[in-house]
Amino acid sequence: MAGDIGESMADIAIGSMAARSVEPDAGGSPVADADGHTLEEACLNCGTRLTGPHCHNCGQRAHVHRTLSAFFHDLLHGVLHFEGKTWRTLPLLLWKPGKLTREYIDGRRASYVSPIALFLFVVFLSFAVFSLIGGSKAFEPEADALEQVKLAYATNQAELAELQADQANESDPQELAEIEARIASLTEDQQGLQMVLGNIGDTFERDFQQGFAENPLPESSAIAQSIDKVRANPQLAIYKIQTNAYKFSWMLIPLSVPFVWLLFPFSRRFRGYDHTVFATYSITFMIALAAISSLLIFYGAGAVGGLLLLYAPWHMYRQLRGAYALGRFGALWRMLALSLFAWIAIGLFLSLIGVMAGT
């Protein structure tokens, strides 16, 4: 039976190839010329006879391309509409977010990348950046750095022993004062190195774990079980937090929209859609800003990265004023309130992600 089916399939394939050799344009995919253009006369999507550059029935382009460049163009276009609208959207998102938000809400959709498409693309790039600069490994001490700290600690210990021997044999008050000052300085350095090496950190960690061990939560509760899992394997917990933060980053939008609504309670002029577009564009920019600042800090330009973060409140102010047509004072107090609300939304998001990581 299986052999008969196999022979039948082979016969069908041979017949198809024979038919294609006689009438290459009949059935299957159309033949492409050297430039990758197909030579069809009917729409490849719905079969309607073509009368122009697009099918008048379904809207598909009359000529499709079968080249690698066309494939990657479609990929970029599908992800981010990587054409003129990208370069119209990004400058406005950076400097005139209020204008971008208001024009998109008012119906100018074809000119700009949609908020959700831009959000997903920025989230994808940002989490790639965060993975690049460390991820869960950022919480692990580097072996070379740890060895250098150990070497510095041992060197200081040897110098301290010599200074203490000199102190016992020194009688000159001035020399004795210099030795004591040097001993005090080295002792302070050693305390810091001990903290890095974990002598003090281990004590803190034991106290921390003991605090959780003595918590009043019943052992059968979900929270207690989550805490036990995090304590048992913190690196796995960090990895799960990163993964869940990436997968559920969209939750930032529904968590933020109610807080934006609180800035205009019971307003008939501004509706839920307006607040959702506003929140999505705003979150997109903030994630991108955090990623760029993290990169700068990682590569040693911490001052520049820190200064960039100061642009966040100004961006909120400009977006509020432009999107909702507010005056200076109205935009200012709402910016301050929104800054507070943003941290609350982030806290809720991290709490949800933490619970997911512990389950």
138-160 pLDDT per residue, tens = 444 444 556 676 777 788 888 88
What pLDDT sits at residue 17? 43
Q: What is the pLDDT of residue 21?
A: 40
**Per the domain annotation, does 337 fall within a domain?**
yes
Indicate if 125 and 259 belong to the same structural domain.
yes
3-state DSSP call for residue 167? helix
Same domain, 171 and 315: no
Confirm whether 59 is domain-assigned.
no
- DSSP for 197-243 reads HTHHHHHHHHHHHHHHHT-SS-TTSHHHHHHHHHHH-HHHHHHHHHH
- Specify which of 7-11, 57-61, 131-135 reaches the highest per-range mean pLDDT: 57-61
Instruction: Answer with the residue of higher pLDDT: 47 or 238.
Output: 47
Instruction: Output the pTM of the full model.
Output: 0.61
Nearest to 310 by CA among 289, 327, 296: 289
User: Quick one: average pLDDT of 195-224?
Assistant: 54
Any domain includes 234: no
Higher pLDDT residue, 352 or 26?
352
Q: Are 212 and 249 within one domain?
A: no
* Mean pLDDT calculated for residue range 202-229: 55
Local structure of 38: helix, strand or coil: strand
**pLDDT at 235 exceeding the cut of 80:** no
Say yes or no: 259 and 300 in one domain.
yes
Q: Is residue 183 part of a domain?
A: yes
259: containing domain:
84-137+239-358
Q: Does residue 164 fall inside a structural domain?
A: yes
The verdict on 257 and 133 lying in the same domain is: yes
If asked whether residues 133 and 162 sit together in one domain, one would say no
Question: Percentage of the chain with pLDDT > 70?
Answer: 69
d(CA 175, CA 182): 11
Pair 130, 249 in one domain: yes
Examine the domain organization and report whether 257 and 335 are in the same domain: yes
Q: Is residue 31 in some structural domain?
A: no
What is the sign, positive or negative, of the torsion defined by CA atoms of 22, 27, 28, 34? positive
Question: Could you tell me if 190 and 321 lie in one domain?
Answer: no
SS3 at position 54? strand
Do both 117 and 247 map to the same domain?
A: yes
User: Residue 331: pLDDT above 90?
Assistant: yes
Whether 299 maps to a domain, the answer reads yes
- Are 319 and 338 in contact by the 8 Å Cβ rule? The answer is no
List pLDDT tens digits, range 98-139: 999 999 999 888 889 899 989 998 998 888 887 777 654 444
How high is the pLDDT of residue 244?
79
CB atoms within 10 A of CB 230: 18
Say yes or no: 216 and 305 in one domain: no
User: Where is average pLDDT lowest: 53-62, 205-214, 312-321?
Assistant: 205-214
Q: Could you read off the pLDDT of 245-295 as tens digits, one per residue?
A: 888 899 999 999 999 999 999 888 999 999 999 999 999 999 999 999 988
Q: Which residue has the higher pLDDT, 229 or 300?
A: 300
> What is the tally of structural domains in the chain?
2
Assess if residue 43 is contained within a domain: no
Beta bridge partners of 32: 38
Q: What is the mean pLDDT of residues 4-11?
A: 46
Same domain (yes/no): 249, 202 = no
